[in-house]
Chain A
Amino acid sequence: MSLMKDIDMQDDFVEVPLDRMRACPQCDALYHLQPVQPRERAACKRCGTVLIAPRAFAFTRIIALSVAALILLTIALFTPFLDLSAAGMHSNASIWDTAMAFSDGMMAPLSIAVVAFIIVIPALRLGLIVYTLVPLARGRPAGIHAAGAFRLAEALRPWSMAEIFVIGVAVALVKIAGMASVTPGIAFWSFCILVIMMIWQDSFVDREQVWSALHRGSRTANTA
């Protein structure tokens, strides 16, 4: 359902002030901004992209879920991940070992990429989102470079691959299952919960809500 009023060729769009207009980022269709209530969704009439989807207490919920995910990520880094036993022999790997699997010789750059995709970028995104939203949730002016921080978090979105890693773990477990028995450790479970937290957190993120709050936040900072 579209809650946005599209601007018609016949309508005199010049009468709509610029800051009351929004354009679809995917197809450039122009709309006259209408109030959208929490749990309502305003989608582009033409390409179906969700433009505005505010949620009640979104910032507080996003902050809580992000902090929880960051704590789980820290736990996952310092606890045993997988334990392998076959014919009386033991082997175990932490998440760090997994990321460092390529660390010798010419495979080293791949190790850096894996560390970035499954640890650094997810953690950085969560941190940037918390940094952006904490002052806004408390009604304070936005932090220094908060717009840049949120922009970076958005740009890093496709490169955060924690959920893909979890599927990779599942595939690897099936591959080994035939020759050895694998016991998942605390890190494995915290990583699984962390991925659920991140997907849940993302469902509360409405870009329009964040950007308009940031804009208001920076204006109060300028006048103060």
Chain B
Amino acid sequence: MKIAVCVKEVPDPGPNRRIDPGTLRMDRSGDRSLNAYDLNAVEEGIRLRDAAGDGEVVLVSLGASKALDSIRKGLAMGADRAVLVSDEAAVGSDLVATSYVLAKALEAESPDLVLFGQQASDADGAVLWAAVADRLKMPVISQISELEVADGSITAKRQTEFGYDRIRTSLPAVLAVADSLNEPRYPSLKGIMGAKKKPQDVKSLADVGVDAARAGEAGSRTTVISLSPPESRGGNQKIEDDGNAAQQILDFLVERKLV
């Protein structure tokens, strides 16, 4: 079984993330890592490949060329190779442009399964899989918390606002997995060492057959108009437990008459 896992490099979560006020884009110059939610998709890809006994797991991404540093974590976990579409003309791609570029890169791979994590931690988006599935003309199931593969079909359990659905589809298909589906493995030292030697193809837009007019800002249909500071949520104190945190929490609650 050939499994493509779509992954993304994101700025590390935490207070240092910022949007560049000049470009109105995410500042990607600081510390970065693989989107944590993608690790569940990588893990599931590896498990499905191993259970099938053959096939491969290909990581597919769109990003800066240095994103390979983050993507290598997926290779260290056990994915077989990576394809990164990286092109100056793709910078600033929105959903329309990103889904188009990714779909073109995925078409070239003809996978049986395309896996996504449950969201991107930088943009809070949870819409890419549905857009990619539409472009690939494949069925899609999202929010998967349990997955069974048998005889060329997938049965998935997933949570909605009303409880749990069970949905079945034939392959090929696009699946988005919830972070509850599995516990991503930590890469072993051997895996980390071996990751560097695994194939890592960096492709241009032309390499995947995308006209530059359909990527980046030219291919995007949404804009950021302006940025402003949020309404304050008040306190926002953060403390580290030095053995006295329980007392500090109690004092905080008493002060606000909550105890």
Is chain B a partner of chain A in the same complex?
no
A residues apposed to B, CB below 8 Å: none
B residues apposed to A, CB below 8 Å: none
